Amino acid sequence: MSSHLELSAPSEEASASEPVAAEPAPSETETPPTSPATPARPEDLEPPVLAAGTEEEEDEDDEDDEADALVGGFDDSGLSAEAVLAAAEAADAAEGLEPEVEQVPAVLEPEPEPTPFERELHAPHVRPSGEPAEIDPDELDPDALKVVLRLHQHGHQAYMVGGCVRDLLLGRKPKDFDIATSATPNEVRGIFRNCRLIGRRFRLAHVYFKGGKIIEVSTFRANPTELEPANGGGEDEGETSGEDLLITHDNVFGTAQQDARRRDFTINGLFYDVAEGRVIDYVRGRRDLDERFIRTIGDPEIRMREDPVRILRAVRFAAKLELDIESRTYAAMEGAVEDLPRCAPARLLEETFRLIRGGVSAPALKLLDALDALKILLPPVAAYLKQHGKEGEKTFYAFANAMDRRVAAGEPLDDAILLAMLLMPISRSPAQEEAQAPAQEGGRPSVSQVVEDLLAGFVQSARLPRRIAERCRMLLLAQRTLSGERRRRSAAFKRHPLFNEALTVFEMTVEATGEGREQLEAWKAGEVPPPRAGAIDEGPDAGGQRKRRRRRRRRRPSGGGASGEGSGSSASGSDAGEA
């Protein structure tokens, strides 16, 4: 669900955050702290020894500029931005948010040269009947093709499955190629030396290739709900079990046909046999692709209750592929919305991020709003749209469309930026701006309370990495400074490690609203735009938040002359104690 963004910072900021990285990670039984201990400030470090008769005294304004860069940036708490972000990453690592995966060596062993028999295995351009292959072999990924043919060589069934087949039939370029096989995960690992197994509920094989490419190989599975009646249940038992159809386990191997039938939608149940050059359709998915419908495999009421996350998947496919949702499927989605809270919050959050990462967040969120699902997935967004009516919808979807245009153009956007763009209309609303004032009295700048609560809830229950939540909060805080609504010292502000990302959010905000274009051009030109009339001052003396720091002056040694130069070292120790 997250991307790793490289942070750059001045050397003194990096050194200030080093003690944080050295702290031991908290135990699993303790709640990890959200912020580390305050790092040592430069003014607390021992100054160099001065010769007798000299005295160091610098301009206080220059000193405050440097202190602003080290201490706050967007955040006027006692921590540097690097320290806050480093603490968030350390807390994420302590909680083990990475998926369970076998350790992959830095350099994988190379695959052996193909045997003479394997060279005869290829994807034909012409089927045995003389007709052309249903999918041009030149459009298939060569590494995925190699995996399929190697599995064939060892006597296993293997097909390209799911989204790659669907996209190729629609004339789209697949993002990745997945493979389903009759081989068990351990058998797959025995065939490919560059293979690792992942997963807790169901083991999957990842076959690694050069450049970090991964081909995912899964074993044919069966839908456990279809196997239960075969175990001896009668009609009464079936009616009883129908009261709660949520699937909590699916570790059941099956056949290719069972694997196709257990999938969610007919368009995702298509298999491609590369050796025969034909599409295998157990679920009538070709018909729905031709008619441009999204339809569940089997009874839509049952399939949606088995896994309500399928609501989000249907919405994503409808928005991404520009397909219509079949009427019975849509009705079942409306009825299953109330079951979304029963799903794992981490799955809901990941599927929500997939919606906004795909460049189709505006149509997807409109469909979720029509289904009344936003109140469960993004409660502040649902409340904002309800409270502000048509004007609120226009503003919110203007932000979503601006973000979609960037994603569609291929611009890489961090998850924190995507989340900040969704929450920008809320943080800009007058009611929420007023709600920020009480939060700032405690010394820690705050975005609107509903946004703070949403981010905290995502971290606590949905496993949103703290680094993403903290970065999102900082990006939202920076917007009022970029727009000129608040004054800050420009030198400190532009040295913040997230300044460029904050400027990207501000640029999309200007595209969405048409406001602040002059300020944007000034920032991009390296200049500092003048603050707006009535802007809030966030200087060192603003609101009594921080006192102006003065550098400690060193006392002149009492001995004077040349003796003072020799005794400077011992004098500095006593001076430090008296200061």
- Tell me 126's DSSP state: B
Cα(279)–Cα(181) distance, rounded to whole angstroms?
15
By C-alpha distance, which of 84, 67, 214, 48 is closest to 143? Answer: 214
DSSP 168-225: HHTT---S--EEEESS-HHHHHHH-TTEEEE-SSS-EEEEE-GGG-EEEEEE-B--HH
Cα(579)–Cα(577) distance, rounded to whole angstroms?
6
Q: Is 176 a catalytic residue?
A: yes
Cα(181)–Cα(187) distance, rounded to whole angstroms?
10
By C-alpha distance, which of 408, 432, 318 is closest to 370? Answer: 318
Q: Is 537 a catalytic residue?
A: no
What are the start-end ranges of the H helices in 358-428?
361-370, 374-377, 379-408, 415-428
Cβ atoms of 221 and 253 within 8 Å: the answer is: yes
What the block records as the tokens of 405 is 């245009």
Task: From the candidates 264, 288, 414, 415, give the one annotated as an active-site residue.
Answer: 264
By C-alpha distance, which of 219, 220, 239 is closest to 228? Answer: 239
Cα(314)–Cα(302) distance, rounded to whole angstroms?
15
Cα(344)–Cα(175) distance, rounded to whole angstroms?
26
CB-based contacts of 150, cutoff 8 Å, min separation 6: 118, 191, 192
CB-based contacts of 20, cutoff 8 Å, min separation 6: 36, 37, 39, 83, 86, 87, 90
Tell me the one-letter amino acid at 85: L
Cα(577)–Cα(250) distance, rounded to whole angstroms?
67
- Calculate the CA dihedral of residues 327, 330, 335, 341 and round it to 10 degrees: 170
Cα(79)–Cα(71) distance, rounded to whole angstroms?
6
Cα separations in angstroms, 376 against 188, 316, 345: 40, 17, 10
Cβ atoms of 222 and 262 within 8 Å: the answer is: yes
Antiparallel, parallel or unpaired: β 486-487 and 293-294:
unpaired
Q: Is 404 a catalytic residue?
A: no
Task: From the candidates 143, 176, 250, 575, give the one annotated as an active-site residue.
Answer: 176
Task: From the candidates 65, 75, 178, 339, give the one annotated as an active-site residue.
Answer: 178
Active site residues: 176, 178, 264
